[in-house]
Amino acid sequence: MKFTKMHGCGNDYIYIDGAAERIAQEEKPELVRVLSDRHFGIGGDGVIFINPSAEADFEMEMYNADGSRAEMCGNGIRCVAKYVYDKGLTDKEEIDIVSAGVVKHIVLETAAGKAVRAKVNMGRPELRAEKIPVTALGETVIGEEIEAAQRTWKMTCVSMGNPHAVVFADDTAQLALESIGPCFERHARFPKRINTEFVRVIDRRNVEMRVWERGAGETLACGTGCCAAVVACVLGGLTDRAVTVHVRGGAIDIEWDEESGDVYMTGPAETVFEGEIALPAAADK
Q: Which residues are catalytic?
A: 73, 222
Number of CB atoms found within 10 A of residue 142's CB: 19
Return d(Cα 187, Cα 149) in angstroms, integer.
10
Q: Return all residues near 277 (Cβ < 8 A) that are at least 6 apart.
A: 1, 3, 35, 41, 42
Beta strand 46-51 with 11-17 is: parallel
In the chain, the largest separation of any two C-alpha atoms, in whole Å, equals: 55
Terminus-to-terminus CA distance in the chain, angstroms?
11
Instruction: Label residue 194 left, alpha or beta by phi (over 0 means left) and psi (-120 to 50 means alpha).
Output: beta
Return d(Cα 87, Cα 212) in angstroms, integer.
32
CA dihedral 263, 178, 180, 159 (to 10 degrees): 20
